[in-house]
Amino acid sequence: MLEPAPKDTLQVVFLDVGQGDSALVVFPNGKTMLIDGGETDQGRRLVQKLQQLGVKQIDWLVATHPHSDHIGGLIQVLKSLPVLEIWDIAMPFESPVYRDFLLAARAAKTPDGKRPAFRKVRSGLKLQPVPNISVSVLAPREPLLSGTRSDPNNNSIVMRIDAPGGSLLFTGDIEREGRQRLYDARANLGTDVLKVSHHGAANGTDKAFLNRVNPRVAVISVGAGNRYGHPHKETLALLQGKRVYRTDLQGDIIMRLGADKKLQVATTRSTPARQSADEKTTRPPLTSAVVGSRNSKVYHTPECSQLPKPENQVRFRSAQEAEKAGYRPHACVEGE
């Protein structure tokens, strides 16, 4: 059941938005931070859930990076609820969803009818919503990373929340290069709760990172039966021995951090009997059709915004078929 947070508690709800990310933070004084919002088609459901949670306005609306599985649902939120401040990495990114997000951001309203502040977020930004709780942005840093497997992923906003009841680390979709940058910056990564990066993809987590974070609890925000095979079995193996929560199995995950240092966790769906980290995850075969580019020998999902010109397109029945023909996946295939 989703209910408003009790007073004087830090409540964080990892919202089940299918294949995507969304987390609502409610500070003990009632101020709210929404971190990502899943795909566009999740927007209405997301707004309903926020209303069930008693949210009347969003104080900080955070877009960790411009991929559709993070910003899509935020568009409906911007249209439905007053928003005080919008956080974005402001990296040049061409996509219809990001364009719609920016338009919705421009048209959004604060509770007194003004335009919300649009903040280009970089590491070093610190916020103290209540005297004993801080929000610290650890990434991205100038200049933004470029030339990585996925620059939007690697430039995700990474932030930690430190409260008397515990700490949380939000990682967006950072991959190897993004992690390396956190190490170079000597960021303090040790936290109680880790939002596992990139929906549990193998490129979002490694042993060295988990050693640094050393979380008691890990949360994977992921859709059931997604075509990327998230979470990858390598990630689940690394998380063995931790308390792992997954939105595909448990629905919305509600965490309350009280001053007594106790971390309470509830979920809207009951935990299936076989939910341990060594559970066999069946990776669904990538059987959906893909589109190859004759020139670059790269293949894309049919929905990719960077499809080759029609005359250069080659159709394959599946990713496997494309790879057999010597094509490699575009960033869109690994999952946003």
Q: Under the rule (CB under 5 A), what is the footprint of Zn ion?
A: 67, 69, 153, 173, 336
Query: What is the distance between the alpha carbons of residues 152 and 8, in angstroms, rounded to a whole number?
Result: 36
The backbone torsions φ and ψ at residue 96, rounded to the nearest 5 degrees and listed phi first, read: -60, -35
Q: Which residue, 21 or 192, is less far from Zn ion as judged by CB? A: 21
| Residue whose C-alpha is closest to residue 12's, from 179, 150, 148, 195 | 195
Q: What is the number of other CB atoms lying within 10 angstroms of the CB of residue 141?
A: 18
Which H helix or E strand runs over 169? strand 166-170
Q: Which residue, 49 or 67, is less far from Zn ion as judged by CB? A: 67
Q: CB of 93: closest distance to Zn ion in angstroms?
A: 11
Q: Which residue, 153 or 267, is less far from Zn ion as judged by CB? A: 153
Q: Which residue, 22 or 153, is less far from Zn ion as judged by CB? A: 153
Q: CB of 153: closest distance to Zn ion in angstroms?
A: 4
Q: CB of 232: closest distance to Zn ion in angstroms?
A: 14
Q: CB of 9: closest distance to Zn ion in angstroms?
A: 28
Q: Which residue, 52 or 305, is less far from Zn ion as judged by CB? A: 305
Contact 86, 57 (CB under 8 A): no
Contact 170, 35 (CB under 8 A): yes
Q: CB of 141: closest distance to Zn ion in angstroms?
A: 18
Q: What residues contact 233, with CB distance under 8 A and at least 6 apart? A: 281, 283
Q: CB of 19: closest distance to Zn ion in angstroms?
A: 8
Q: Which residue, 177 or 336, is less far from Zn ion as judged by CB? A: 336
CA distances from 270 to 16, 243, 267, 317 (A): 14, 15, 7, 37
Query: What is the distance between the alpha carbons of residues 199 and 176, in angstroms, rounded to a whole number?
Result: 14
Query: What is the distance between the alpha carbons of residues 216 and 203, in angstroms, rounded to a whole number?
Result: 21
